[in-house]
Amino acid sequence: MIKTNGKALNPSQTQYGQQDTSYKAAGQLPGITQLVDLFYDNMDSLAVASVIRNMHPQDLTESRTKLAYFLSGWLGGPKLYSQHYKPIGIPAVHKHLPVGQSEAEAWLHCMKQAIDQQPYEEAFKDYFIKQLRVPAERIKQVCSKQ
Ligand code: HEM
């Protein structure tokens, strides 16, 4: 068992976050695209997500592409977002939005449901959703609504 900041990590999780292991564990771009599609389908259909759904454009096509491209680089794969758009700071691009606790939890809920339906290793599912909580918390901090 390895300890980081006093927290014990499951040995099978210690590999994630190194080079492109997370990108590969997520199924590379096809796997990430499938995940993002389901994530936005969840946002579109779950009542708990209606507030954050309404912050998005009606047509989610570009939102899907942008999130998939961002996650590719964030997981250690090709930096597709900065190649196709421009460098991005995740808290900064959300700063104008009214994101508080319930909005962040709704986003993470849509993502958790989507991750749970992917053919990922259980350890990666657990690692991935925990990692996503980090930028979600940062967004919450910078957004005006507390
Ligand atoms: C905390 C809850 C979050 C809410 C409520 C939220 C909401 C939004 C909204 C409304 C947009 C604008 C969509 C558009 O105009 O097309 C957006 C864009 C985006 N979000 Fe989030 N988001 C959240 C968390 C996250 C997290 C955790 C990530 C990354 C791991 C992320 C990645 C992105 C990206 C890459 C974009 C596209 C930015 C751009 O090019 O304009 N979001 N988000």
Residue type, 52: I
Q: Is 22 a member of any domain?
A: no
CB 69 within 8 A of CB 132: no
What is the tens place of the pLDDT at every residue in 1-10?
Answer: 444 454 555 6
At 50, which CATH number? 1.10.490.10
What mean pLDDT do residues 125-132 have?
98
| Averaged pLDDT of the chain | 92
What is the tens place of the pLDDT at every residue in 11-21?
Answer: 555 689 999 99
Report which of 79, 109, 101 is spatially closest to residue 146, judged by C-alpha positions.
Answer: 101
Q: How many CA atoms lie within 13 A of 126 on its CB side?
A: 9
Assess whether the C-beta atom of 132 lies below 6 angstroms from ligand 1: yes
- Report residue 38's pLDDT band, with 50, 70 and 90 as the boundaries: very high
- The values of phi and psi at residue 27, to 5°, are 85, 20
What is the tens place of the pLDDT at every residue in 45-60?
Answer: 999 999 999 999 999 9
Q: Is 5 a member of any domain?
A: no
Q: Is 19 a member of any domain?
A: no
Model-level pTM?
A: 0.92
Give me the domain span that covers residue 67: 35-142
How many domains are contained in the chain?
A: 1
Residue to probe by mutation, ligand 1, list 51, 59, 90, most atoms within 8 Å of CB:
90
What is the rounded CA–CA span in Å between residue 133 and residue 146?
16
Q: Is 24 a member of any domain?
A: no
Residue 87 has pLDDT above 70, yes or no: yes
Assess whether the C-beta atom of 75 lies below 6 angstroms from ligand 1: no
- The values of phi and psi at residue 3, to 5°, are -115, 130
139: enclosing H helix or E strand: helix 122-142
